[in-house]
Structure 1
Amino acid sequence: MKRLFLSLIICLLTLMSWAGLSSPAAQAAEEGSVYVIPVENEIETGLTASLRRAFQLAEEESARAIVLDIDTLGGRVDAAMEIGELIRGSDIPVIAYVQSKAISAGSYIALNAPQLAMAPGATIGAAEVRQGDGEQADPKVVAFWRAEMIAAAEHTGRDTKIVSGMVDRNVEIPGVKEKGELISLSAEQAVQHKLADGIFPDLNAALAHYGYEDAPTHVYQPTLSERIGRFVTQPLVIPLLLVIGLMGLTWEIVVPGKLFPGVIGAGSLALYFWGHMAAGFAGWESVILFVAGVVLMIAEIFVAGFGIVGALGVIALGSGVVLAAHDTSYGLKAMLFAIILSVVLGAVLFKYFGHLGMWKKIILTDQQEKADGYVPAKSYRHMMYQTGRTVTPLRPSGTAVFHGQRFDVVSEGNWLPVDTDVQIVLIEGTRIVVRQVAGDANKVIPVQEDEEQE
């Protein structure tokens, strides 16, 4: 148990030591510079938080323009929509420069920028929304996403028909696409259909086109905490960290003695919470709830709380995880999945290793074997319904005589004086229950025999 608490302390110390990294370090930039912000790899909630901080720094340093250097195959629709709102709400001019690919949700981000430039060989489009299993999304979701893409095009004055064809296969545009296809445009086609302002060999050429050739450029570099936060908040990583974390702590509880599982579990949970704190989704209240939940669940083992303490622990633990997640429904599902696997692991470990560690102190494992001199308790069931007489008062326990032998008995509840005729009405192991009867004392009920024997 000490090792488990040590693991939790390591978890807290790790969070506290990393907390200083959660805030991006000041990145010096000249006043009036152009802020270049990379939009790379998968679009997810961690990227949204990183871009929000980058936009804030650009405003604080009075940047002349913000350039989104885009190279992505897409990602989460909800994250892309938040980035789109960030672009539309910016007081600083935003330029989207498609370095290589602006596919799916990446095209939505690019279309929200008032100014859009393409690099040679770059592509944009193919923004069909799909479910997690790769299948086409529900028609309602497709309609909603198409409306969002069209709204982005309308906001920046671009061709809404072309944008609609990027999303919906059922849209037919004569001379551009047949029904059943998605639109994905090359750099030349994007300029031809007036989605892009031009093709530029590099970013400096694009900046010169928009009148920023004399402005110094400052490339925003995400901090280590932001990069790790982006990784930790990915949908596939979240349940993995929770499973490793809870299973590691479960292992340490059931089979104590080795610090490794507990440290791995605590480290995974620390990484989960720290990543979400670095991404701006969680605060210390989530960590406090989680640790309180673990402590309450451990206390349930040693305190007779009728399950109340343990139930409160589960609620606190789950609340801490769910509150830390950007998507609470997904966080709840991931938490339930991790708890189920941890319970299964705990049952297996307890079955095969329950005799180890602290369980030896709270579970009775001694057996009364015949070889040690223990013999089974004598059975008195043959005395059922026999009558006798009390030799001590029954209050309600006492002593009675049956066939000249003294036995410890107990009445059905009423007190009986000495020399009271009683009859045995119940035998439970060595416990003999009697009831007062009228008639001769010590009268034995005869055994019924068959009248005829053939």
Structure 2
Amino acid sequence: MRHKVYQRVLLILIMSLLSLFTIDNRVSAEAGPVIGIAIKGEINAGQAALVRKAMADARSKQAQAVLVEIDTFGGLVDAAVSIRDMIIDSPVPTICYVKNRAWSAGALIAISHKHIAIAPGGSIGAAEPIPTTEKTVAAVKAEFAATANRTGRNPRVAEAMVDKSLGYPDYAEPGQILALTDYQAAKVGYADIVAPDREAVLANYGLTGIEVLEYTQGWQEKLAGMLSDPAVKSFLMSIIFLAVLTEIKTAGLGVAGLVGLGAALLFFGSQWITGIAGWLEIILFIGGIGLIILELYTPGAGVFGIIGIIAIFASLFLTLGANVAAVNMLAISLLIAIVLFIVLLKHLPSSKLWDRIILKDAETKGAGFSSSQDYSLYLGKTGITYTGLRPAGALIIEGVQLDVVSEGQFIEPNTLVKVVSITGNRIVVRPVHS
């Protein structure tokens, strides 16, 4: 009898010790606040930037948990995947509260949490991708299934949310996309509880009375969200390409370069805030620009320029996701840039805008000015290129070596060229085809 009493006492002690380290369906309650994040409206890079900021603060503030409230019809897949990765990798416990709906990309974010609560009348699922191609469906379905498996849920349910050909018994027939209501989500294990409000959610996980620090989008996150729109990103890339083409044509005028630099800062800055662009992409882009500048002012047989252009394309390709959609966006942006470049070449030099931005005043002899050397006597004369023009180089005219530039094209050494314009010390030449 005494032996049995000792066994019971020992069992009680063991259970008491275990209760200190494990909480049944509850989040560990250590010192610190709860971080509250509201994901509302379209999911974009701005939402990803907000989650990144909040997650970083959750670690530094030793938060007890992160509560993510979702009410969205969906949004950009790349932004949702970025948020999904941050939640899964978070060392701080996370709780998702579906206030009204978590559809499409929002469903992926929801199921990436270990704990899900859903409001009465809420729903989760309906994640068929657009465009609904075989490749896109397969990729998104795999992402959903892997996420569900990682968080201990039935992957078949997640797959049926993406691929309507599967269906799910008693909830969606084959040919119907799966979307779960509040009580259905709880029944199939995609929600822990149906909770009417935040207080009920916190109470369920043992966080009653804990301070909640709210995180909402500031101007940086809103700007990042706006710049993440595919149309805006395509426009910025077109401006970057146009600036590069213009700088090559004008041999370093500077105005186009500044405009292109501004577009690049907006493009990469927004992607940096969201964590999509890393140091590799930015270094590739800056290195590519540097190589193109090097090609313009040093004879490099075109090697520096080619490598620079490849580096720029690689940086943009990686930043856009390194997929077929990235290739399509790059192609469209480059085509727009080429069309705009042709239009500028044809109309800008004769426009009033060109007259306003280009300085027409000259320090002429008639006005009492004189220069150290007058190059006007070489206008219209021909000579032989001493070095390759890329587009800058050297020319020999009547035994005199001159520093000249081409009109943008590459000219090989020992080529007959003609001086077509002279502005101060800038001598522009053009090949003579005979």
Asked if TM exceeds 0.5, the reply is yes
Choose which of 133, 136, 161 in structure 2 pairs with 1:137.
133
How far apart in 1 are the matches of 2:85 and 2:250? 50
> Aligned equivalents of 1:322 and 1:175: distance in 2?
44
Q: TM-score, normalised to structure 1's length? A: 0.60
Matched, 1:80 2:80: yes
* Residue 165 to residue 291, structure 1, CA distance change in 2 (3 Å): closer
Distance (Å, rounded) in 2 between the aligned partners of 1:178 and 1:295: 61
Matches within 5 A, 1:78-227: 78-131=78-131, 136-138=132-134, 141-143=136-138, 145-227=140-222
The alignment's TM-score, normalised by the length of structure 2, stands at 0.62
After superposition, the C-alpha distances for 1:413-437 in whole angstroms (9 at most, x for unaligned) are xxxxxxxxxxxxxxxxxxxxxxxxx
- Structure 1 window deviating more from structure 2 (159-168 vs 199-208): it is 159-168
Conserved 8 A contact 2:103-2:123: yes
Give the equivalent residue in structure 2 for 1:66. 66
Q: How far is 1:109 from its partner? A: 1.9
Aligned to 2:264: 269
Q: Relative to structure 1, is the Cα distance of residues 304 and 61 closer, same or farther in structure 2, using a 3 angstrom cutoff?
A: closer
Aligned AA for 2:107?
S
Residues 22-79 of structure 1 deviation map (CA, whole Å, 9 limit, x = unaligned)? xxxxxxxx95111112233334456445434422321221111111111222234454
Against the structure 1 CA distance between its residues 306 and 348, is the aligned structure 2 distance closer, same or farther, given a 3 Å change threshold?
farther
In 1, the alpha carbon distance for the partners of 2:318 and 2:83 equals 22
For the pair shown, the structure with the greater C-alpha radius of gyration is: 1
Q: Distance in 1 between matches of 2:319 and 2:264?
A: 11
1:236 aligns with 2:231: yes
Kept after mapping to 1: 8 A contact 2:46/2:226: yes
Structure 1: how far apart are the matches of 2:311 and 2:193? 55
| Counterparts of 1:249 and 1:148, CA distance in 2 | 38
Aligned partners of 2:306 and 2:189: how far apart in 1? 60
Residues in 1 aligned to 2:189 and 2:60: alpha-carbon distance in whole angstroms: 33
What is the distance in 2 between the residues matched to 1:335 and 1:92? Answer: 38
CA separation of 1:306 and 1:158: change in aligned 2, threshold 3 A: closer
Tell me what 2:283 maps to. 285
User: Which of 339, 358, 361 pairs up with 1:344?
Assistant: 339
Partner SS, residue 42 of structure 1: coil
Distance of aligned partners of 1:306 and 1:285 in 2 relative to their CA distance in 1, 3 Å threshold: closer
Change beyond 3 A, Cα 1:334–1:161: closer
Which amino acid in the other structure matches residue 109 of structure 2? I
Three-state SS of the structure 1 residue aligned to 2:101 is strand
**Among residues 293, 297, 312, which one is paired with 1:295 in the alignment?**
293
Could you tell me which amino acid in structure 1 is paired with residue 287 of structure 2? L
Aligned to 1:311: 306
Corresponding letter in the other structure for 1:344: V
2 CA distance for matches of 1:339 and 1:159? 44
Q: State the alpha-carbon separation in 2 of the partners of residues 141 and 324 from structure 1.
A: 19
Query: How many residues are paired up?
Result: 329
8 Å CA contact retained: 1:296, 1:312: no
Amino acid at match of 1:282: G
User: How do 1:337-376 and structure 2 match up within 5 A?
Assistant: 337-353=332-348
Are 1:57 and 2:57 counterparts?
yes
Q: Distance in 2 between matches of 1:293 and 1:335?
A: 20
More displaced stretch, 282-291 vs 264-273? 282-291
**Structure 1 296/349 Cα, relative in aligned 2: closer, same or farther at 3 Å?**
farther
Structure 2 distance, partners of 1:137, 1:123, is 25
Structure 2 CA distance for partners of 1:330 and 1:293, relative to 1, 3 Å:
farther
Kindly indicate whether the alpha-carbon contact (under 8 Å) linking 1:254 and 1:346 is maintained by their aligned counterparts in 2. Answer: no
Structure with higher RCO (Cα < 8 A, 6+ apart): 1
**Could you give the per-residue CA deviations for residues 225-280 of structure 1, whole angstroms, max 9, x where no partner exists?**
33323332343322111113443675688799x99877654432221122123223
SS in structure 1 of the partner of residue 194 of structure 2:
coil
CA contact (8 A) 2:288 2:309 kept: no
Contact 1:296 1:313 in 2 (8 A): no
Distance in 2 (CA, whole Å) between partners of 1:220 and 1:227 is 13
- After superposition, the C-alpha distances for 1:91-136 in whole angstroms (9 at most, x for unaligned) are 32211101222001211221222221112332211122333xxxx2
Distance 2:221 2:322 in 1: 18
**SS of 1:236's equivalent?**
helix
Q: Which amino acid aligns with 1:71?
A: D
Residues 342 and 39 (structure 1), Cα distance of their counterparts in 2 relative to 1, 3 Å cut: same
| Letter matched to residue 128 of structure 2 | E
Q: Write the distance in 2 (CA, Å) between the matches of 1:348 and 1:313.
A: 25
Q: Is the 8 A contact 2:97 2:118 kept in 1?
A: yes
